[in-house]
Chain A
Amino acid sequence: MTSPADADLEVVHARRPRPRRGVSLRDAGPPVALVVVFGIFAALSPGFRTLSNVQNVLDAAAVLTVVTCGITFVLMMGSIDLSAPGIMGASAIAVALLVANNRNDNDYGLLGVVLAVLLGAGLGCLSGLALVTLKVPSFMTTLGISAVGLGVATLMFAGVQPNVSDRMLAGLAVERFLGLAHLTWIAFACVLVGWLVQRYSRLGRYAFAIGGAEEVLALSGVRVAPYKVAVFTMAGAFYGLAGVMVTSQLGAGLVQAGRGYDFSAIAAAVVGGTLLIGGRGGILHSAVGVLLVTVLTNGLVQVGVSPYWQGGVQGLIVVAAVAAAVIPQRRRNQVTK
Chain B
Amino acid sequence: MTTNLTRPPGQRVPATAPALEVRGLVKHYPGVKALDGVDLVVRRNEVLGLAGENGAGKSTLLKALVGLVRPDAGEIWVRGEKVRLGSIADAADHGIGMVFQEQSLVPNLTAAENIVLGSEGPGVRHGIYRWNTMRRLAQEQLDKIGSHIDPLARTDSLSFADRQMVEIAKVLRIEERTSHPPVIILDEPTSVLESKEIETLFTQVRRLREFASVVFVSHRLDEVLDVCDRVAVLRGGRSVGEVPAADAAPAELHRMMIGSTGSDDHYHGAAAERPDEPRPRLVVRGLSGRTFRDVDLDVHAGEIVGIVGVHGSGREDVCRALFGAEPTTAGEVVLDGARLDLSGTRAACAAGIGYVPAERKTEGMVGPMSVADNMTLTKQGSRCTGPVVRPRKQAKLVDRWIERLSIRTPDRGTAIQRLSGGNQQKVVLARWLVAGDVRLLLLDHPTRGLDVGARSEVYRLLRELAGQGVAMVLLADSLEEAIGMSDRIVVMSDGRATTEVAAPADGKPTPLDLVKEMV
Contact = CB atoms under 8 A, between A and B. Distances in A.
In the complex, A touching B (Cβ < 8 A): yes
Interface of A: 1-2, 4-5, 7-9, 11-13, 15-21, 199-203, 205, 208-209, 211-213, 215-217, 219-222, 279-280, 332-333
Given A209-B108, A212-B107, A8 B515 contact: yes
B344 to A, nearest CB: 8
A19 B320 CA distance: 26
Interface of A is mostly: helix
Contacts of A11: 310, 493, 519
Contacts of A18: 157
B128 interface: yes
Given A200-B128, A220-B88, 18 more contacts: A1-B199, A8-B196, A8-B518, A8-B519, A9-B196, A16-B158, A16-B159, A17-B157, A19-B150, A19-B154, A21-B150, A202-B129, A205-B129, A216-B106, A220-B170, A221-B92, A279-B107, A333-B320
A17 B158 CA distance: 7
A332 B325 contact: yes
Contacts of A19: 149-150, 153-154, 157-158
B12 to A, nearest CB: 30
A212 B149 CA distance: 21
Given A11-B310, A279-B108, A332-B327, A221 B118 contact: yes
A203 B127 contact: yes
Interface in B465-483: none
B303 interface: no
B333 to A, nearest CB: 16
B109 interface: yes
Nearest to A16: B159
Query: Top 9 nearest A-B pairs by Cβ distance?
Result: A19-B153, A220-B118, A212-B108, A221-B89, A8-B196, A16-B159, A20-B157, A221-B118, A221-B88
Interface in B129-165: 129, 131, 149-150, 152-154, 157-159, 161-162
B199 A2 contact: yes
A16 B162 contact: yes
A264 B153 CA distance: 34
A1 B512 contact: yes
Contacts of A280: 108
Given A16-B159, A20-B157, A333-B345, A8 B310 contact: yes
Interface string B491-509: 0010000000000000000
Instruction: Name which of A12, A201, A215 has the most chain B CB atoms within 10 A of its CB.
Output: A12
Contacts of A215: 104
Nearest to A4: B515
Nearest to B170: A220
Nearest to A7: B519
A93 to B, nearest CB: 32
Interface in B322-367: 324-327, 344-345
A258 B45 CA distance: 63
B401 interface: no
Contacts of A221: 87-89, 92, 118-119
B104 A220 contact: yes
Contact of A219 (B104, B109, B157): B104
Interface string B92-135: 10000000100011111110010001111000100111010000
B327 A219 contact: no
Contacts of A8: 196, 310, 515, 518-519
Contacts of B298: none
Interface residues of B, number: 55
21 contacts: A2-B199, A4-B512, A4-B519, A8-B518, A8-B519, A9-B196, A9-B200, A12-B310, A17-B158, A19-B157, A21-B110, A21-B153, A201-B128, A202-B124, A209-B106, A212-B107, A212-B108, A220-B118, A220-B170, A280-B108, A333-B345
Contacts of B312: 12, 15
B88 A219 contact: yes
B108 A208 contact: yes
A211 B108 contact: yes
Nearest to A200: B129
Nearest to B357: A333
Nearest to B93: A221
A101 to B, nearest CB: 37
A209 B117 CA distance: 10
A217 B518 contact: no
A4 B194 CA distance: 13
B516 interface: yes
Contacts of A21: 110, 150, 152-154
Contacts of A333: 320, 325-326, 345
A217 B161 CA distance: 21
Contacts of A13: 159
Given A8-B515, A16-B158, A21-B154, A212 B311 contact: no
Given A8-B196, A12-B197, A12-B310, A213 B129 contact: no
Instruction: Name which of B197, B199, B345 has the most chain A CB atoms within 10 A of its CB.
Output: B199
A200 B133 CA distance: 12
A212 to B, nearest CB: 4
Contacts of A216: 104-106, 117
A191 B158 CA distance: 31
B14 interface: no
B511 interface: yes
A108 to B, nearest CB: 29
A197 B327 CA distance: 41
Contacts of B129: 199-202, 205
A18 B88 CA distance: 33
A17 B161 CA distance: 12
B345 A4 contact: no
A333 B87 CA distance: 38
A99 B152 CA distance: 48
Instruction: Name which of A17, A18, A199, A208 has the most chain B CB atoms within 10 A of its CB.
Output: A17
A156 B508 CA distance: 85
Given A211-B108, A213-B107, A12 B118 contact: no
A46 to B, nearest CB: 44
A217 B118 contact: yes
Contacts of B105: 213, 216
B109 A209 contact: yes
